[in-house]
Amino acid sequence: MTTGTVRDATFDVLRRTGMTTIFSNPGSTEVPLLAGLPEDLEFVLALHEGSVVGMATGWALARERPALALLHTTAGLGNAVGAIATARVNRAPVVVVVGQQDRRHLALEPFLTGRLHGLAGDYPVWVDQPARAQDVPGAIARAAHEAVTGRGPALVVVPMDDWTADWDGTVVAAPQVVARPTAVDDADLAPLVALIEAAESPVIVSGAGADSPRTWEGLVALAERLGCPVWQESFGARAGFPQDHPLFAGILPAGRAGLRAALRRYDAVLAVGAPVFRQYPYEPGPLVEPGTRVAIVSDDPAEVHRSPAELAFLADPGVVAARLAALLPARPHSPEGVVRAVAAPSRPTAGEPLRAAHVMHELALRLPPEAVVVEETPSSRPDLHRLLPARRPLGFLSAAMGGLGFALPAAVGLRMAAPYRPVVAVMGDGSAIYGIQALWSAAHYGVGALFVVLANGRYAVMDRLAEKNGAGKAPWPAFTEVSLSATARSFGCPATRVDTYGDLVAALDEIVPDLGSRTEPLLLEITVIPDTEFHP
């Protein structure tokens, strides 16, 4: 456009980049942008800024294109920093626009002036405050490209008076389309082909960066070509391989001793879409046994650059996996096989309390293959991985950063972006409390996700870690007074409390068959006893 306001020109940018859904919890500095919003732009209100960015994160991951989050100056950005950090580590392309006081008297630091530069730390992949109002549309267009290329949140600070400034047809300083070729030359792959060919017993480690239909297809072909098992990276935020495939070996241990033991039989390890290697507790010693050769394929530069590998390929994992499957000679499957024996938990007797494993097992019996499970239940994550495999790309999602408050808003945004897929968020009650405000958005906008809350009335994972570290009794109390079902209803979200196995089966039998077509959220608060063991 050649006339109008900066606001009008920005709306054109949003239309062109597909960012027509605006997730926000606005304040006065955002009113000039939002008042009288055009009907073709959808506004989605969240009741906390963490939920704003969390919902945008889920939306971006489901659509695989930038989502727009609009925040209110210092308080809004400050409240959202944890969610911005999670979006970065989850590789979610989110454009974060932050309101600022009127440019014309910023020098006087009026009320609501934000000292915004650096407030989000290094977590944004790109940050800009345009030098003049007419540069705002170009900055937002560039932020969309930066978010996709950098695989994370890109942040633009906009003073509130910029929106009503005249737009005089100034050049938008960003391309309309950015092409990102993914071809890989066979000659470039020659060293990796030679490394794998020389191995007697290769193994693949897949990660969150391999979670796409093309990469799943390529990795399945490669694993079957090599007859080798596929492990999932520990603490992976997404599943990089079908977890019901016969060659899927399980989740790698998060400590070095366990990692070495799991990979001891293999003389070559190929990490695809995963770093070398993600860990949690520090343990001394090498990552793999001496003599084991390690290679990595990832499209994340930071992941590649920090991995202690013999060979590293900064390239599209799906393209590389498919070419390797074509270039490498076929091998027989390992004689001992890698089929995992998954024992279902025994059905509780009358009066016996529910455990998290009972809930995971019953969900696994009912959920269709295309279901998306969003996880945030640290103390029972091993049960979820063991009993509830991801069978489709984006079938599993969790917070790569580890901070609480992700699953509930992410499930809302994801279901909004992918209404054709059943979405279940499985959370501990301690985790759900951090993102509980998103239930209002789910109810108000008719988001038919299922929220399964495993309620043990405490931070069970913290209790287990305190015991493991020999610290004696943990000083923090339980919070058994909290009722998540009552809280959900207060936000307008239907909720049911489940205390027995019979109630659990009845509730899931009623809900799951229609989960893909629901237009109303539901929270199930399921009383479980804390697990006695936790293995990170």
Structural domain includes residue 175: no
Phi, psi of 535, deg, nearest 5: -120, 100
0.75 exceeded by the pTM?
yes
Specify burial of residue 271 (Cβ count, 10 A radius: 0-12, 13-18, 19+): buried
Average of per-residue pLDDT values in the chain: 91
pLDDT level of residue 193 (50, 70, 90 thresholds): very high
Give the number of other CB atoms < 10 A from CB of residue 323: 21
pLDDT value for 339: 54
Structural domain includes residue 176: no
Across 276-284, average pLDDT: 87
Phi, psi of 198, deg, nearest 5: -75, -15
Q: What is each CA distance from 14 to 8, 64, 104, 215, 494, in whole angstroms?
A: 10, 16, 26, 30, 34
Domain co-membership, 119 together with 59: yes
Give first-to-last CA distance, the chain, whole Å: 55
| Model confidence pLDDT, tens digit, residues 129-170 | 999 999 999 999 999 999 999 999 999 999 999 999 999 887
Across 169-189, average pLDDT: 83
The three state secondary structure string of 495-536 is: EEEECCHHHHHHHHHHHHHHHHHCCCCEEEEEECCCCCCCCC
Domain co-membership, 90 together with 207: no
pLDDT value for 283: 87
- CA dist 270 and 297 (Å) reads 8
DSSP for 143-175, please give it.
HHHHHHHHTS-EEEEEEGGGGGSB------SS-
Domain co-membership, 160 together with 190: no
Residue 294, pLDDT > 60, answer yes
Within 8 A by CB and 6+ apart from 503, the residues are: none
pLDDT value for 2: 62
Structural domain includes residue 159: yes
Across 223-249, average pLDDT: 94
pLDDT value for 348: 85
Structural domain includes residue 339: no
Domain co-membership, 62 together with 152: yes
Domain co-membership, 207 together with 242: yes
222: CATH: 3.40.50.1220
Which strand ranges, in their side-by-side order, compose the sheet holding 311-314?
248-251, 230-232, 202-206, 268-272, 293-298, 311-314
Helix axes 49-63, 73-89, angle to 10 degrees: 40
| Model confidence pLDDT, tens digit, residues 300-317 | 998 999 999 999 999 999
Structural domain includes residue 56: yes
More confident position, 420 or 473: 420
User: What H or E segment, with its residue span, contains residue 202?
Assistant: strand 202-206
pLDDT value for 394: 96
| Model confidence pLDDT, tens digit, residues 445-486 | 999 999 999 998 777 777 777 677 766 677 878 788 889 999
Residue 533, pLDDT > 60, answer no
Interior/surface letters 386-416, b for 16+ CB within 10 angstroms, e for the rest: bbbbbbbbbbbbbbbbebbbbbbbbbbbbbb
Domain co-membership, 135 together with 259: no
Residue 211, pLDDT > 50, answer yes
Domain co-membership, 378 together with 488: yes
Strands of 40-82 (E only): list them.
42-45, 67-71
Structural domain includes residue 335: no
pLDDT value for 1: 59
Phi, psi of 202, deg, nearest 5: -80, 160
Lowest mean pLDDT among 51-65, 151-165, 265-279, 327-341: 327-341
Domain co-membership, 195 together with 139: no
Q: How many domains does the chain have?
A: 3
Domain extent for 263: 186-327
Structural domain includes residue 421: yes
Among 307, 327, 347, the domain-final residue is 327
| Model confidence pLDDT, tens digit, residues 514-532 | 999 999 999 999 999 877 5
Structural domain includes residue 417: yes
Evaluate the omega torsion of the peptide bond into residue 534 and state whether it is cis, within 30 degrees of 0.
no
Report whether 361 contacts 384 (CB < 8 A): no
pLDDT value for 341: 64
pLDDT value for 174: 83
Name the nearest CA neighbour of 57 among 44, 47, 69. 69
Strands of 429-521 (E only): list them.
450-455, 495-498
Report whether 516 contacts 342 (CB < 8 A): no
Domain co-membership, 278 together with 372: no
Among 104, 134, 164, the domain-final residue is 164
* Pairing between β-strand 495-498 and β-strand 423-428 as defined by DSSP bridges: unpaired
Specify burial of residue 381 (Cβ count, 10 A radius: 0-12, 13-18, 19+): buried
pLDDT level of residue 232 (50, 70, 90 thresholds): very high
- CA dist 491 and 489 (Å) reads 5
Domain co-membership, 119 together with 219: no
Residue 335, pLDDT > 50, answer no
Among 164, 198, 213, the domain-final residue is 164
| Model confidence pLDDT, tens digit, residues 57-102 | 999 999 999 999 999 999 999 999 999 999 999 999 999 999 999 9
The DSSP secondary-structure symbol of 340 reads -
469: CATH: 3.40.50.970
Structure tokens at 60: 């971006």
Name the nearest CA neighbour of 462 among 536, 390, 393. 536
Domain co-membership, 203 together with 104: no
- CA dist 314 and 301 (Å) reads 7
Domain co-membership, 204 together with 155: no
Percent of the chain at pLDDT > 70 equals: 95
